[in-house]
Amino acid sequence: MAIETDRFANTANNNRMFREQIITREDLNEFRSLLLNDLKEIIQSKPQQTKQWLKSKEVRKLLNISPGTLQNLRINGTLTYTKVGGIMYYDNSDIEKLLNGNKVNAVPTLFK
């Protein structure tokens, strides 16, 4: 029985918290700022990689258009595409050209 008491005493000592083990708000704030800096470095080090070929669903979501509008863009030759096995793919650079080609310059109308 004395052995069990000693074992319990050792366990109690191992679970005891010491002052230097307590985490303060300053510790948490320092950890937060270090974590944010690390995340910023990770995000900035990886450049956003865009896909070259987009599927119809991705183009519709990107341009916020309906399937019929996308079909009209294909039919009238406004947007080129490649069809492979029933799936239509659109070149990302063609979409950018389409957007840039239809860009309208803003005319300031304040105080006129």
pLDDT in tens, 11-68: 555 667 677 678 889 989 999 999 999 998 888 876 666 788 999 999 999 999 999 9
88's tokens: 């239509």
- The pLDDT-based confidence of 94 (bands split at 50, 70, 90) is very high
* Statement: residue 9 has pLDDT above 80: no
The confidence score (pLDDT) of residue 32 equals: 93
Which 3-state string (H, E, C) describes the chain? CHHHHHHHHHHHHHCCCCHHHCCCHHHHHHHHHHHHHHHHHHHHHCCCCCCCEEEHHHHHHHHCCCHHHHHHHHHCCCCCCEEECCEEEEEHHHHHHHHHHCCCCCCCCCCC
- The pLDDT-based confidence of 95 (bands split at 50, 70, 90) is very high
- pTM of structure: 0.52
